[in-house]
Amino acid sequence: MANVTVGMVAPDFELENQHRALVKLSSFRGSKNVVIVFHPLAFTPVCTVQMKGYQEAIADFTGVDAHILSISCDPGPSKKAWADSLGGISYDLLTDFEPKGAVSQAYGVMHPAGFPERALFVVDKNGVVAWTAKYDIPEQPPMAALLDQLQQIARSQ
């Protein structure tokens, strides 16, 4: 497994979102900071609260020129059904389904059980990893810590 660390250029990827559109990380270079959110599984309690929280705070993310790319190994139709069940998600829920977990492996967050661990990577507008954090699977990542990092990055740009 790779070990993506602060200061590295983020490994590029292109994955399908809940609307079946392809989303490429490098397409955000020069325009948006990106929060890459690896989460284990759609429809699980902690992941559901986590994704709803990001949607509720979307204005905070927009305010620091940040876009969220949420990644799990769930297939595309599951991502669509999950987004619908959450009342609609305005950011990208990406499927790392085929080849299974390739992006999760590239970022070094593939759990031995075959799904991503819970991890965050903030990629700045230059495509460089500016912050990372990994959490225990049942742990809810603290929103305040993420937003604080994004505000610091936005102030330095």
Query: pTM higher than 0.85 for the full model?
Result: yes
Q: What is the DSSP letter of 142?
A: P
Q: What is the DSSP letter of 134?
A: E
Looking at every residue in the chain, the average pLDDT score rounds to 96
| 47, 73, 83, 130: the active-site residue | 47
pLDDT of the residue at 1: 43
Average pLDDT over residues 22-51: 97
Say whether pLDDT at 113 is over 50: yes
Nearest CA to 28 among 50, 12, 6, 40? 12
Domain annotation for the chain: domains and CATH numbers: 14-156 (3.40.30.10)
pLDDT tens per residue across span 39-75:
999 999 999 999 999 999 999 999 999 999 999 999 9
pLDDT tens per residue across span 116-136:
999 999 999 999 999 999 999
Q: Check if 47 is active-site.
A: yes
